[in-house]
Amino acid sequence: MSPDRRKTAAERSGPSSAFGTARAPRSTRGQTIDALVGAPPTQVSPELVAENPENPRREFDDAYLDSLAQNMREVGQIQTATVMTRLAYIVVHPEHQDAISTAHEYVVIDGHCRLRAARKAGIDLRITVDDSSAGTREDLLAAALSANHFRKDLSPIEEAEAIEALVAFHGSAAAVVTVLGGAVNDSWISTRRALLKLPEPIQERVAAKEVPIAIARKAGTLPSEEQTAFVEAKMAEREAEQARKPKAVRGRAAAAVKKNQPQHSPAAVSPTTTMPRAETSPSTSADGAQSVPEPRAESLTPERSDAPVDWTNPDAVTAAILERCPADAVQKIAHSLLGAL
C-alpha cells in the first residue's frame, strides 16, 4: 500500500481555501478584531441587507422573483448570496455612505434576485460575507474607529482593545494616529490604552459607564495593587459631593412651588425697598443755593444669576459656563473636556 493511501482524504487534498485558516488558532490580536468587527453569520434577515448602489441591473422580472420566492420557501435557498459588511462597503465606496442606511448591516454584491425573493418569501437570506476587497480586518477596524457613527456602540474598553490591536499591527501609537487620519489624538489613545491596565472588575464598571473615564485613566497609571483602592476612594468622594448638591426641582414639583409663591403686583413695594428717584434738573432753593438731585438707586436685578448650578444637568452647566465665561475661556474649557474624554 502506498504512503498516500494511508492518508485521509483531507490530508491528501490539503486545506481548502474556505477553511484552511481554521486549522491554526487565532492570535489574541485576531480574536480581539473578530470580537469588535464581528464573526460573519451564515444567514440573516433580508431586511438587514441593502441592495448595492453599484449594481448594473435596474429591471427585475416580477414573475421570476415570485417563482424564485416560492421555490426558496418550499425547497430552500440553494446558492448563498455574497455580501459585504456595510462598514467594508463604505471603506471601498465612501460616496455611497448616505445611500445605505445604518439600519442595514450588509450590502449584497452577488445575489440581488435571491435577496428580493427572500423578502417576498419572508425567510432569512443565506449569505457569504466577503470583505476582502476592503483590505485587512485591521483596515476595517481603523475605519470603525475613525468615524463616530461607526464606534457609537463600542464601550471605552472595546475602544481600548481596538486601539491596542492597531498599535500591535502598525507598531506605534503615532502610526495609529496617522492611520486614523486625525480622528483621534495621542491623548485619546493613551487614555484608552491605560484602561487595559486596570483589573477586570474595574474594566467591567468602566464598560458599564459606572466609573468615569477620568478616574479610570488615572487609576491605570498607578501600580496594580493601588488601582482598586484608588477607584473606590474617588467614587466615594464623587458620591458624597453629589449628595451635597441641591437637587433641582422639576416637573410637577416645580410647578407646585411656583404656584404657591406669592404673586406681587408691579405696583406693590416692599417697605425695605428703595425706589429710585426720578432724575430731575438742578433746582434753586429759597436762599439761592443750587441743590443737586440724588443719584439713581442701583438696579435691584443683578446682571447674572447667582443661583447654585446643578452640575448633574448638562444644559444647566452649559448655560452657566456661557453666562459666566468669556468666549476664549469657553473654547479652552471645551478643548480640555474633549481631551479628557
Q: Average pLDDT of 316-332?
A: 79
Q: Choose the weakest-confidence range: 5-9, 231-235, 331-335.
A: 5-9
Residue 35 has pLDDT above 60, yes or no: no
For residues 245 and 312, the answer to whether their CB atoms sit within 8 Å is: yes
Q: What is the pLDDT of residue 153?
A: 56
Q: If you ran DSSP here, which 8-state letter would residue 274 be given? A: P
Residue with the three cell numbers 447667582: 306
When computed from its CA atoms, the radius of gyration of the chain, rounded to whole angstroms, is 34
Compute how many other C-beta atoms are within 10 angstroms of the C-beta atom of residue 85. 20
Residue 47 has pLDDT above 80, yes or no: yes
Q: What is the pLDDT of residue 310?
A: 77
Q: Say which residue, 222 or 296, is predicted with more confidence.
A: 222
Portion of the chain with pLDDT greater than 90, in percent: 26
Averaged confidence pLDDT in the chain: 75
Separation between Cα atoms, residue 10 and residue 14, nearest integer Å: 6
Per-residue confidence band for 1, with pLDDT thresholds at 50, 70 and 90: very low
Go through the domains of the chain in sequence order and give each one's CATH number: 23-134 (3.90.1530.30)
Compute how many other C-beta atoms are within 10 angstroms of the C-beta atom of residue 248. 13
Q: Say which residue, 115 or 248, is predicted with more confidence.
A: 115
Residue 190 has pLDDT above 70, yes or no: yes
User: Cα–chain-centroid distance for residue 13?
Assistant: 47
